[in-house]
Amino acid sequence: MIFDGPFGSGKKAAAAYAAAALLCRAKNGRPCGICPSCAQAAAGSHPDIFLFNPEGGNILIDQVRELRRQSFIAPNQSPFKVFIINRADRMNPPAQNALLKVLEEPTSSVFILLTENAGALLQTVRSRCRIYAMEPLAPDVIAEWLSSHPTPGQKAPTADAIREAAGRADGSIGRARQLLENGLSRPARLAEEFVSSLRGSALQIMEACLAASALPRNEYGDFYTECTALLAVDALAYPADAGYYIAVYEYIQQQRDKLLENNGSVFALSSQLAAFCGTIYRRT
C-alpha cells in the first residue's frame, strides 16, 4: 500500500492504525486496543511491525536490503510482518529497484510506503501497490474531532481556542492538538512574521529571516513547515500574488532538502531565503 499525502496529513498515524488493525488478535478490521498485539503496537514495541526512516535524508539501498532480509525471517508472533517505509519517495532508483524485487517475492509480509510525492516512485513500484491519497482535513472536521476527543487530564479548551487551533493546523489533527496544548511554538511565530513580511519591504523580509536564523537547526525544519502552510493559505488569499507565494513555497521546499542533507548552516539558508524573496519581490 502507498499512503500519499502532504506533511501533516496523518500518514504515520494511519499506517500505525493499519498495522495494529492487521495484527490485532480480535480480527475485527480495527485495533481492539486491549489484546497483547494492540498493546505492543500502541507502545511502539511490536516485534512484527518494522519502521524504516530515511538515513541522512534518503532511504538507502542497504536499508532496503535489510528490509528484504527481515521479510524472509518468520514473524515473531503474528501471521505476518508489517513494514512501514517512511518517506519512501526519498528512495533513489537503485533502492527502489531493490524494493521492487521484494514486492515481487511471494512473502506474506505487508508493506506500507508513506510518501509526500508518490510520483517520485517508479511506475513499476506504484503499479504493485494500492495507492491511498491522504487529504488534509477541513478545519471544521478537525474542530469537531478536537471537541469530541478532549486530552485526558487537561482542562477542556474553549470553543474559540479549538476553532483557532483547527484553522492553523494545516489539515492535521496532530498539529491542531499540539497547538491547543502548547500554544504557538517559536518556529510558528517566526514563520508568521516571515510570511507577513513578504507583503512588506525587502528590509522587513531581511529582518524576519534574520530573526528566524537564530533558531536551532532542529527547530528550523519546523519553521519551514509552518512557512509552507502559511504560504499556501496566502496564495489563495491574494490570488494576484499567488505566483510569488508559490515561488517562495518551492524555494523553501528546496531549502528543506538542503537542511535535511546537512548542506548549509541555518544562517546561510536564512540569508539565501531573504535574498531570494527580496529579488523576486522586486521583479513582481
| Least Cβ distance, residue 48 to Zn ion (angstroms) | 13
Least distance to Zn ion, CB of residue 28, Å = 8
Q: Nearer to Zn ion by C-beta: 32 or 275?
A: 32
Q: Where are the beta strands (DSSP E) in the chain?
A: 2-4, 49-52, 82-85, 110-115, 131-133
Retrieve residue 11's grid coordinates. Answer: 500518514
Binding site for Zn ion (CB under 5 A): 24, 26, 32, 35, 38
Three cell numbers, residue 281: 519581490
The three-class DSSP label of residue 267 is: helix
Order of strands across the sheet that contains 110-115: 49-52, 82-85, 110-115, 2-4, 131-133
Q: For residues 38 and 125, which CB has a smaller minimum distance to Zn ion in the complex?
A: 38
Q: Indicate left, alpha or beta for 183 from its phi (over 0: left) and psi (-120 to 50: alpha).
A: left
The nearest distance, CB 20 to Zn ion, in angstroms, is 7
CB of 27 to Zn ion, least distance (A): 8
Nearest-angstrom CA–CA distance, 109 and 38: 18
Q: Which is nearer to Zn ion, 80 or 267 (CB)?
A: 80
Shortest Cβ distance from residue 80 to Zn ion (Å)? 15
- Here the contacts of 33-40 (C-beta below 8 Å, separation 24 or greater) are 37/77, 37/78
In the complex with Zn ion, the residue whose CB is nearer, 32 or 103, is 32
Angstrom distance (rounded) from CA 193 to CA 216: 17
Q: Which is nearer to Zn ion, 22 or 146 (CB)?
A: 22
In whole angstroms, the minimum distance from the beta carbon of 86 to Zn ion comes to: 23
Residue 145 CB, shortest distance to Zn ion, in Å, is: 22
Q: Name 50's bridge partners.
A: 83
Q: Which is nearer to Zn ion, 18 or 176 (CB)?
A: 18
| Separation in Å, CA 102 to CA 22, 70, 106, 128 | 20, 11, 8, 11
Closer to Zn ion by Cβ: residue 35 or 233: 35
